[in-house]
């Protein structure tokens, strides 16, 4: 994943914020509507209508991601499973596999992980910081297993979280590198996704 010095902001209203993104599908409603995937704020409206494309959208299963995070200034690498919302706006919950800020990386790394409800009335947001005994800039593997009302999140073969809830509807996998704040430091900003494996 890569952000170059001349890359534009994600949205003018959110500037300065730049993103390199991979995701396993897209969904939006008509232009001007609030209908679409990952409505993480209430003031978001569709600017570009996008045909629905559901490439990989499991409602339960297992995903493994081997990643090397970034040490670059103001960067964060993250992976989420996010409700597609194409059937209902309530199907909007999120499994946050990891959010790794560059400033939190060292011999051990502090990571945010858990479940976010967003607009799903059947979920409760349950996010915590965990410390993993790895330098997250080196290749390391995250695992999430979810279904039957439980989400298990682990790192390097060790379970870190067992959350007694799980979305039970189609989810997109999203992996992102963010640069949050004014441009600075060396470019390009990078993080490496070495491998993604998934089972339904």
Write down the pLDDT at residue 63.
98
Identify the CA nearest to 100 among candidates 64, 74, 136.
136
d(CA 83, CA 118) in angstroms, rounded, equals 10
Write down the pLDDT at residue 11.
85
Angle at 176 between CA 174 and CA 180, to 5 degrees: 140
d(CA 122, CA 175) in angstroms, rounded, equals 25
pLDDT at residue 149 tops 90? yes
Q: For 83-98, how does the pLDDT look when each residue is reduced to its tens digit (9 = 90+)?
A: 999 999 999 999 999 9
Average model confidence (pLDDT) for the chain? 96
Write down the pLDDT at residue 44.
85
Q: Give the residues across from 197 on adjacent strands.
A: 64
> What does the pLDDT average to over 132-153?
98
Write down the pLDDT at residue 199.
93
> What does the pLDDT average to over 117-140?
97
pLDDT at residue 200 tops 90? no
SS3 assignment, position 186: coil
Residue 74 has a CB neighbour count (10 Å cut-off) of 20
pLDDT at residue 121 tops 90? yes
Write down the pLDDT at residue 177.
98
Q: For 1-50, how does the pLDDT look when each residue is reduced to its tens digit (9 = 90+)?
A: 999 999 999 988 889 999 999 999 999 999 999 889 987 777 888 989 99
Write down the pLDDT at residue 14.
87
């Amino acid at each position: 994943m890569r952000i170059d010095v001349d890359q534009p902001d994600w949205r003018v209203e959110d500037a300065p914020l730049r993103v390199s993104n991979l995701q396993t599908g897209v969904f939006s409603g008509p232009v001007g509507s609030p209908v679409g995937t990952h409505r993480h704020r209430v003031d978001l409206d569709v600017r570009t209508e996008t045909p629905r494309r559901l490439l990989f959208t499991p409602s339960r299963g297992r995903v493994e991601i081997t990643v090397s995070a970034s040490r670059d200034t103001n960067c964060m690498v993250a992976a989420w499973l996010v409700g597609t919302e194409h059937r209902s706006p309530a199907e909007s919950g999120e499994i946050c596999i990891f959010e790794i800020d560059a400033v939190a990386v060292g011999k051990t790394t502090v990571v945010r992980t858990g479940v976010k409800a967003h607009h799903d009335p059947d979920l409760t947001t349950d996010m915590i910081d965990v410390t993993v005994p790895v330098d997250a800039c080196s290749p390391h593997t995250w695992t999430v297993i979810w279904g039957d009302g439980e989400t298990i999140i682990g790192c390097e073969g060790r379970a870190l979280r067992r959350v007694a809830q799980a979305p039970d509807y189609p989810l997109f996998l999203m992996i992102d590198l963010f640069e949050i704040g004014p441009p600075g430091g060396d470019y390009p900003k990078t993080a490496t996704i070495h491998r993604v494996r998934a089972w339904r």
